[in-house]
Amino acid sequence: MLLKISEINPFIRFAECTNYNTYCNPVNVFDSRIFYITSGALSISISEKCFSLSKGSLFYCCAGSNYSLKGTKDCQLIILNFDLSQRRNGIKSYVSPLLISDVDPKNLYSNCDPIEETGIFESLNSYLTINNLDFGDILNSIIAEYSYKNILYRERASALLKELLIDICRTLNIATSKSSDLIKSIILYIRNHSNEKISNESIGKKYGYHPYYINKIFLKQTGKTIHKYILTVRLENAKRQLINTDKPINRIAEETGFYSASHMTNSFKSHFHSSPLEFRKNDKGII
């Protein structure tokens, strides 16, 4: 049964601050989980990706996730195990993870509280990482509620966790909005300068980001690498000139940013399955 964002009312099953300086084989978990690194570093492998998290990093994964962990000698974590709703609040004790290597895939835990909303909330149906933000105070308050067990401690801890999840979603929304504006600016820049010598490195330098990072977010939002997008724009411009002008191939290649006529010809063939001359002759395509 799908869960609406407005219906989130977390049920915390485990809360602790602990040292973690070991390796955990791949496991499948019953609860949704949050790890917050207070010192040292933690390596997390999930969905064939690996994340190296340091002090101030937060990791979230939904119930039913599979992951493995490796902490440094000085690694200290705040750990929360919880459901996003009260639907399984009859199970109050910690539920041990299952070693994936020891369990029939049919018997693995599954995500019991999928969120129906899309957009930034989709991350609550999977996993996410947030770096360099201080969530220590609110997480320590949750742990204190569980340690002292004052009246209505579960309700208080649940309210604090809901507040934290809202903060996480707001942070993701801000990051997504900033990324969208950045990508729009990069796309406009590429279209205006595609005939020039541009690359991941030059674009990264222009916008003040590492080339790897800027290419990563560009790929995530457009489905293409920066290199592939530049090539696509150049091919579009070359195609337009082939249809609308009688310019020779070498001049079109020069004006559209290709290294040479042969570079343009090879790229054109790969993309359109036709050489520039064949394309011009047959007047294929409409722009």
Q: What is the CATH number of the domain that holds 265?
A: 1.10.10.60
In a domain, 137, yes or no: yes
- How confident is the model at residue 256, as a pLDDT? 94
Residue 287's pLDDT is: 38
Q: Is 182 within the bounds of a domain? A: no
Residue 53's nearest CA partner among 152, 121, 129, 2 is 129
Q: How confident is the model at residue 98 (pLDDT cuts 50, 70, 90)?
A: very high
Confirm whether 185 is domain-assigned.
Answer: no
Residues 53, 120: one domain?
yes
Could you tell me which residue, 169 or 14, shows the higher pLDDT?
Answer: 14
Alpha carbons 249 and 268: distance in angstroms, whole number: 11
CATH number at residue 109: 2.60.120.10
- Domain span including residue 57: 5-174
Last residue of a domain, one of 174, 204, 222: 174
- Sheet of 66-71: strand order equals 49-54, 41-46, 66-71, 23-28, 98-99
Number of domains in the chain: 2
Same domain, 206 and 86: no
What pLDDT is stored for residue 222 in this prediction? 82
Q: Over the stretch 127-139, which tens digit does the pLDDT of each residue have?
A: 999 987 789 999 9
- The contacts of residue 152 (CB under 8 Å, 6+ apart) are none
Q: Which of 61-70, 114-123, 214-223 has the lowest mean pLDDT?
A: 114-123
Q: Is residue 180 situated within a structural domain?
A: no
* Bridging pattern class, strands 127-130 and 58-61: antiparallel
For residues 77 and 163, state if they share a domain: yes
Say yes or no: 163 and 214 in one domain: no
Inside any domain, residue 212: yes
